[in-house]
Each structure stands twice: as structure tokens, then as C-alpha cells.
Chain A
Amino acid sequence: MDITFKNVTYIYQKNSPFEHKALENLSFHIPSGTFVAIIGHTGSGKSTLIQHLNGLTVPSEGEVHIGDFKLTNDEKPKNMKELRSKVGVVFQYPEHQLFEETIAKDIAFGPQNFGVSEEEIERRTKEALRQVRLSEELLERSPFDLSGGQKRRVAIAGVLAIQPEVLVLDEPTAGLDPRGQKEIMDMFYNLHREAGLTTILVTHSMDDALKYADQILILNKGTKFMEGTPIDVFRQKEALQSVQLDVPEVVQFLTSFEEKMGKPINFSNQSIDEIATSISEIVKGVE
């Protein structure tokens, strides 16, 4: 589903001393099937933005289009439930939303609310569990007996079982160990490609953004600061640093290589091998 924001402004607690603009005149377009990374500092409006994607909040001004659904301040779609069945959101620390007695029931909760048949739910539960790499033996256990990482996987499975067309991920790997982080991110990426999803990833990790995203959107104080492909965005080191954002490690490496060796290697999202080749060429050339 295509996603379009047109001059979206969102104001918290309007007409009170606590009035606060979380988003200001934000416009962008995400074509269907894209993997987008949204990056920004705490308080830059990332969380507010993703709440617009499934109608949890509607813009104070401007328009949001998600597929055929249109959200404006005075016009909410009547079939909000349908929108939410098509846009799955994995919130920060999703394990906090677990509540059922068994893992099977918790995963089935979403599909049940959206009126999916029993057999289909059973099929989806097993599939989702396989996707997050948990064993089916766990199905009848209580989600509260699991470790933190496993809980996270169950909660993610609960969203995947809805089988959304758009997947919104709000820092899905925060607080996991490095291996778990990689596993989960690879899982989302494979799913994105296999199922042809539109994926929106909110992250602090520049390396993840570089590795997975087709398009990067950088927010600063509720406005769009930069937008483009990872290569275009991460070439602008100074601009990123002006809003206290880093560049991925690879780019840092290439910059400091240039400083020390006096020879530039242009960043074009090349692999480690390709970089090694360029380095060896330069080094041999120097000798």
C-alpha cells in the first residue's frame, strides 16, 4: 500500500499551556513495497508519526493517505478496523502487551479480533511461530514463563499473525542481545521481500538503516530534515552531525581512512570485500 503524508501537523494538548507541536508540515511519499527507515532523535516525532499510520491518531492539519484510506482531522475512515488489519504495528517493547494465559491464545488475539476463521488462525499461529523461530512446543505455555527475548518474539508473532500489508516497526530490537538483534532484523527483512510488504522501521541504528532500507527519512523536531537513499543520506556527514546523528561505521571508517591516507574511497554502499579490494589497490599504489 502506498503511504502519503501531505503537510501533516500534529499538536498535542491543543489550547492548553502544555500545547506542543509533535509534527509540523510533514510531507513524504512511500511507494508500496519499500523498506523505509525513519531516523531521528528522541522527541523528533517518530512515535507520533507511526501512530498516524494506522489511525491511532489523526493529523491536526493536513492529510494522511494509506492505500485507499484517508485520514484528516475531521474525517476518520469508518472501517478503521480494516485499516488496522492491513497495517501491523510492532511497538517499542512489544512484550509489554502480552496478556493471555497461553502463547497460542496471545498470538491468536489479533486475527480473532479481525474475524479470521479458527482453522486459518491455527495455520497462521504456527507460521508466525516458525517465522520468529520459536518451537511449537511452547504454544501451550504461559508467555510470562519465557525469557525477555522469547517474549519479544511471541509479541512480534502476534502482529505477524494478522498478516498485514504494511509492517511498522518501532525499534524492534531495543534491549536484545546482538545475536537476537540480527536474527530479528534478518527475519523482518526476509519477510519484507518474500511477502512483498511495505516496511517502516524506526531505529537509532544507522547500520541497520544502511543495511536494510531502500529509503531513509530523517526527522528533526517534527519536521523532515532529510530524505533519500542510504547512499545519498550517509554521504552528508556534516549535515547529519548538525542534528547529532552519526553515520554508519563503514562510512566512519572510510572517512578516517581518507584522513590518514589522503586518498578517498567514495561510499557507494559497497560490501566489506569491495572496500578491502579498494584499500589494497590504494595501498599497493602508494608503495
Chain B
Amino acid sequence: MSLLEIKNLTTSFSTEQGSVQAVRGISLAVDQGEIVGIVGESGSGKSQSMYSVMGLLSENGRVEEGSILFDGKEISPKYFDGNEKAYEKYMESIRGNTLSMIFQDPMSFLNPVLTIEKQLVEPLKNHRKIPAAELHQRAVELLTQVGIPSPEERLKQYPHQLSGGMRQRVIIAIALACTPKMIIADEPTTALDVTIQAKIIELIKELKEKTGSGVILITHDLGVVASACSRIYIMYGGKIVETGLADEIFYSPQHPYTQGLLACVNNPESDNELQPIPGSPPDLISPPAGCPFVDRCSQAMKICKQYMPREKRLSETHGVSCWLTEKGGI
């Protein structure tokens, strides 16, 4: 059994303009000791699907449907019989404990008025009974583990006294505090310099090796995925359009969107010019009945507009939702 198994997850947000269907029935699975990438552009629903798992959706967000099986227990709010308190209570007991999240923006995710130490030991205080003296020792170890020099000094400081890369490391250290079984990393490198990006990815890989945690890496950067993930899910318009081993996605992409994404990656070895995908993502207030990519797809057919293609399995690991493959290719 997988560590995390999501089936048919649907999440929507009520806004003044109408209900935004951010996540539209996605299914995915992550095993222990595996790094899985979720790739997609802004607004594809990749972050919100994971916020749904964590139970951290903003007030107007709601999980409408689907099952989230984590560590053998159903944690979709749907399965708590509308008992919000029971759901919150259970989520509080696993958040930061067995299931933790690394956030995107190191500038805004740390509390400006609390010291690093206070923020770092909080998950331990919440979930482990550790005497105060040891708590400090643990905090020092955690900062050392994520590669922050002179941790004793750093612990006493406030977020604004640290650089962006350093803050991102603190955020990672917070997520690791209780050695979780599962880590969800939401664009952990987006806000950082390229040189630091590589270091952070290395760090996450290292820590996964050490703890055997399962990791979901959300990103819009295929370069990051290529260097870290064994399997990849490609998301577009709230749906997973293609999934496969990293090699399958990079060497035989099937979905026109995946192909488009790869054409956007700068490859220094080829002379090909970068090919941007024309158009913009679909409006998720009234999402298209058919394939979400239809308006930007150069190979779109009549059927693409009317019906959503089912996922077709090309191999045990490689699946794609596209009418082109459904019909046996072009």
C-alpha cells in the first residue's frame, strides 16, 4: 500500500465571480522513500491539491469529493461525517508530525516577531514530549542538519536577520523537526537564486535518503524535477494530464502539453529555439467540458472540445489523458 494515495480529489473555492474548480478529480500515489514531482504552471491546481491534503485550504476552499488515504487512514474531510472538530483535531495530530509541508516563499512564511528557535521547536512541542533543555539541543541539531552554520546564534535571531536561502532552510528544518513520514514541498526553490536552488534540492534528496520519507515536490521547473524525482505527474487546468517515470516523461512525452513544456526548457546542447505555448490557461470558474488544454493545443480535434479523454495506460507507469493517444496516435 502506498504511503499517500489520493483518489478523484476535487477541490473548489467559492468566490464572488462563482465557484472556482481548482482541482478536478485527480488521483495520485506516493510510496515511502520516493520523490514524486507534480509539475504545472501557476493556477493548474498543483498547490491547492496539496493544501487539500494538508487541510490548509483558505476559508473559502472546500474539498468536494474524493479520498485521501495517508498512512492507512482516510484523511479527507469528507470522511469525518461533517464533524469539522474531529477532522481538525485529527489533522492537528498529524500535521508537522507524520505529515509536513515545506512552503514556497521564505520571506512570508516565517513569523516576523518570533525568534527562529521559537518557530523551530514548535512542532516538537506540539507532538513530542521533550524536556525544555533537550528542545534547544534538538533545535541546534536541526539547523546543523539543514546546513546552517553557527546555529546557536541563528536560533536567537529573527527571520529578517537571515538571508532568503537561510530562511528556506529554516522552513525545511521546521518541516523535518518530527521526522515526518511524508513531506510535501511546495515550490521550495522558486523564490531562491539558482545556485541556492540546486543546494536546496540536494538537501531534500539527502534528507529523504536519511529518513526514508516520501516526498512530493511541487514545481513548475522541469529542471528541478529532472534532477530529483523518480516519477512525475503533469497537471493542467485542475487535472492530471500525464504521469510516468521521469524517463518516460522526458524521453517520450505523449500529451501535447507535456511536449510543450519540454520545448520551453532551455537545452544548451540543442540549437532549437525555445517554443512558448501560445494562449493562457482555462477559466476554472466554468471549465471546458472536454480537455482543458484544447484551446492551446495545435493538434486539437472536434472531440477534444466536448469530452474529457480517459487516462490511457501506455505502460505500468506511464499514463496519459489525450484523445490523440486514445485513437492510437496520429
**Do A and B share a complex?**
no
